[in-house]
Amino acid sequence: MGYYSIVIVIISVIILLAVMISLALYISANNYIKKHSSEIYEKNEPLSSECRDLASFLLKQQSTFKRYLAENGLTQTYNCSNSVLSNAENNPIKYLIKYSDLDYDIQCLEELDFCETFSEKLGIFYEKTDELYKQVSKTIPNRVYIFLPKEKFFVKICNIDLSFFPQSYPVFRFLYISPAGKSQREYKIFITTDVIKEIKSELSRKLNKYSHAKVQRNTMTNDLRNAIKKRDNYTCCICGNSIYKEPNLLLEVDHIVPISKGGKTEADNLQTLCWRCNREKSNN
Ligand SMILES: [Zn+2]
């Protein structure tokens, strides 16, 4: 046999030995896990149960979470102009609300509430599973630990398959494609718990404003209108014109502080204006 052949034989033997040793270690690690899995689980109570409970809650609810986000248009790619994209970058929440399909109603807020809870719990789940994995790594032998990556650990010890859980945040994407299609630019908003919270508070602010306007408009009755005109002696509070000077003058009742700015339909906030002055006021 030549010199090279001997070297090759020696290397092959070494490789073979290495493979056999790894295999033996792998088998012994797996046996260890099989034998000790319930012990490891129990030793790390209550954290291990907490992880399992969170997992079963999240698995049950995650299709609803995804559906709510999709139905409200929060997980879509929105094709837009370059300027809309720039505006969105400067004011993400405002533009997210504008170009999603969110309604200003209670049901929408309830759905967002649900999504917030889910997202929060998902965050806690990832924290707790990290913690548990770290905790366990200190208590089992290293020869076992190296054969027990995180995904395997949760399947074998806690019966949780991590691959069923979302690996990244849902995302709303603003996408600009130039007319010739030569260049494109995108801006992603990740729907994190904080983003959901911000959308919620913005929405409830708008909802309050909206219901305020509705109530204030309904409060304005013909009787109230006539009473205000009578109180102001059928005279415009701005120009002083009246039905005595101009018998066919059209008088209107105006909110001094507009409803849109929080004004109420109350005598103190109402005044008689001629139609010209009213148009003038609403144009300013
Ligand atoms: Zn007037």
CA of residue 279 to ligand 1 center, whole Å: 10
pLDDT of residue 210: 81
3-class DSSP state of 256: coil
CA of residue 274 to ligand 1 center, whole Å: 4
Please give the span between the terminal C-alpha atoms of the chain, in angstroms, as a whole number. Answer: 103
CA of residue 213 to ligand 1 center, whole Å: 25
- Nearest in space to 201 (alpha carbons), one of 99, 113, 73: 113
- Nearest in space to 261 (alpha carbons), one of 276, 240, 282, 236: 282
Phi-psi domain of 240 (left: phi exceeds 0; alpha: psi -120 through 50; beta: other): left
3-class DSSP state of 253: strand
Q: What is the ipTM of this complex?
A: 0.98
CA of residue 210 to ligand 1 center, whole Å: 29
> Model confidence over 160-202: pLDDT tens digits?
998 888 888 999 999 999 988 888 999 999 999 999 999 999 9
CA of residue 243 to ligand 1 center, whole Å: 11
Torsion angle in degrees (nearest 10) through CA of 33, 34, 38, 40: -10
- Nearest in space to 109 (alpha carbons), one of 262, 216, 211, 215: 211
As a whole number, mean pLDDT of residues 278-283 equals 87
pLDDT of residue 52: 93
> Model confidence over 265-275: pLDDT tens digits?
999 999 999 99
CA of residue 223 to ligand 1 center, whole Å: 22
Q: How far is it, in rounded angstroms, from Cα 277 to Cα 270?
A: 14
76 pLDDT tier (thresholds 50, 70, 90):
very high
CA of residue 245 to ligand 1 center, whole Å: 12
1 pLDDT tier (thresholds 50, 70, 90):
low
pLDDT of residue 106: 83
CA of residue 24 to ligand 1 center, whole Å: 97
pLDDT of residue 144: 85
CA of residue 218 to ligand 1 center, whole Å: 25
pLDDT of residue 17: 95
What does the radius of gyration of the chain's CA atoms come to, in whole angstroms?
A: 34
Task: Find all residues with CB under 8 Å of 192, minimum gap 6, and list them.
Answer: 119, 169
Q: Is the pLDDT assigned to residue 203 strictly greater than 70? A: yes
- Spell out the domain ranges in the chain: 41-211, 220-283
> Model confidence over 98-119: pLDDT tens digits?
999 998 788 899 999 999 999 9
pLDDT of residue 207: 84
CA of residue 106 to ligand 1 center, whole Å: 41
Averaging pLDDT over each range in 133-137, 154-158, 211-215, 236-240, which range is the top one? 236-240
> Model confidence over 8-57: pLDDT tens digits?
999 999 999 999 999 999 998 888 888 888 888 988 889 999 999 999 99
206 pLDDT tier (thresholds 50, 70, 90):
confident
pLDDT of residue 3: 85
Identify the helix (H) or strand (E) that includes residue 6.
helix 3-43
Three-class secondary structure assignment of 141-187: CHHHHCCCCHHHHHHHHHCCCHHHCCCCCCEEEEEEECCCCCCEEEE
Q: Which residue type occupies 31?
A: N
> Model confidence over 209-243: pLDDT tens digits?
888 888 888 889 999 999 999 999 999 999 999 99
> In 234-276, at which residue ranges do the beta strands (DSSP E only) sit?
251-255, 270-274
